[in-house]
Amino acid sequence: MPKLILQIDNRVLKTCVVDQRASIGRLPDNTVVVDNPAVSGHHAAVFRDGDHFVIEDLASTNGTFVNGKRVSRQRLQGGDAVRVCKGTHSIVFDEQGGDGESAGAAEAAPPEIAAAPGETVYVDADKHKALLAWIRSAQAPAGAAVLRVLQGQADRSEYSLYAHTSVIGKSDAALVRLKGFFKPKEAVAIARSDDGYVATVLRGKTRINNEPVRERQVLADGDVLEVGGLRLEFKLAG
């Protein structure tokens, strides 16, 4: 699968697989996020056109450059270096997209940091703080999903899953409190991750869309959970 490889000072910062379409820009909803004020919100797009890939500038303020040349629309070849702003970063297009490093990256100059084999070195430079902010901005969480009570007795009609982990059970720490002597203290835990919400069944019986859940299941919009006498609908943030 072809990839876009975000590099800074010839070091790989992030690798994004391009399936049909990928976008580059400042806003967090892009595939490749470049958090620099000179970059437009949605700066450029890479998409499949037949058996090859094409980059298109999305009317950006400061332009898109491929191998140093400003382009509005151009076919990409393996190893092409895309730039969307000045600076030490580059985005390399890797057509083969093997597991290893890209052709472009392999040709890059070796890193300045010298270390013996197996040695771990520490890079302390202010620019890496900016890098970290960059990475973090790419992972900005979306709005929280909710559990809507469809049936059964609960103290609320809707529960927001904005915590990292939300528990359904009899425990005092539970978000959705189950009542009754035989109810488990922790029946289900719903954990939020970059990939979505995962329900982990801890004790007792839980069904999702009428199917028993044995261990873990990724929740999809509209899923109906049945746990401890409650029927709850999982709704992603609109």
Partner 1 sequence: MAPAAAHFLKSLTSIEMAGMRLRVGARSHVGRVRQVNEDVYLLRARQGLFVVCDGIGGGPSGELASRVAGDAIVARLTGADADVPVGHAHARGRYLPRTSMLAEAVRRSNERVYDRARHDRRHTGMGTTVVSAWIAENVASIAHVGDSRAYLWYRNRLVALTCDHSLASANANNDESALVRALGREPEVDVDLTEVPVRSGDYLILCSDGLTRMVPETTVGNVIHELREPQRISDRLVEIALGNGGVDNITVIVIEVMGSWWQRLSTQWRPHAGGIPNAEAHPAD
Angle (CA) 105 111 113, round 5°: 155
Per-residue x/- mask for partner 1, residues 164 to 203, rule CB under 8 A? Answer: xxxx---xxxxx---------xx--x-x-x------xxx-
Q: Is residue 132 at the binding interface for partner 1, with CB under 8 A as the rule? A: yes
Decide if 208 contacts 215 (C-beta within 8 A).
no
Q: Is residue 215 at the binding interface for partner 1, with CB under 8 A as the rule? A: yes
The size of the chain, in residues, is 238
Pick from 69, 110, 181, 182: which binds partner 1 (CB under 8 A)? Answer: 110
Minimum Å distance from CB 215 to partner 1?
6
Q: Is residue 155 at the binding interface for partner 1, with CB under 8 A as the rule? A: no
Q: Is residue 7 at the binding interface for partner 1, with CB under 8 A as the rule? A: yes
Site for partner 1 in 36-95 (CB under 8 A): none
Choice between 37 and 117, CB closer to partner 1? 117
Choice between 54 and 198, CB closer to partner 1? 198
Q: What is residue 127's three-state secondary structure? A: helix
Main-chain dihedrals φ then ψ at residue 194, nearest 5 degrees:
-60, -25
- Binding region for partner 1 (CB under 8 A) out of 26-34, 69-77, 126-134, 222-230: 126-134
List the structure tokens of 210: 């009428």
Pairing mode, strands 21-25 and 32-33: parallel
Q: Is residue 163 at the binding interface for partner 1, with CB under 8 A as the rule? A: yes
- Distance between CA atoms of 66 and 6, rounded to whole angstroms? 14
- Distance between CA atoms of 22 and 105, rounded to whole angstroms? 20
Q: Is residue 118 at the binding interface for partner 1, with CB under 8 A as the rule? A: yes
- Distance between CA atoms of 74 and 101, rounded to whole angstroms? 24
Tell me which residue has tokens 């620099």. 36
Decide if 227 contacts 187 (C-beta within 8 A).
yes
Tell me which residue has tokens 């491929």. 66
Pick from 3, 11, 207, 231: which binds partner 1 (CB under 8 A)? Answer: 11
Tell me which residues touch partner 1 (CB under 8 A).
Answer: 7, 10-13, 100-101, 105-106, 108, 110-111, 113, 115, 117-124, 128, 131-132, 162-167, 171-175, 185-186, 189, 191, 193, 200-202, 215-216
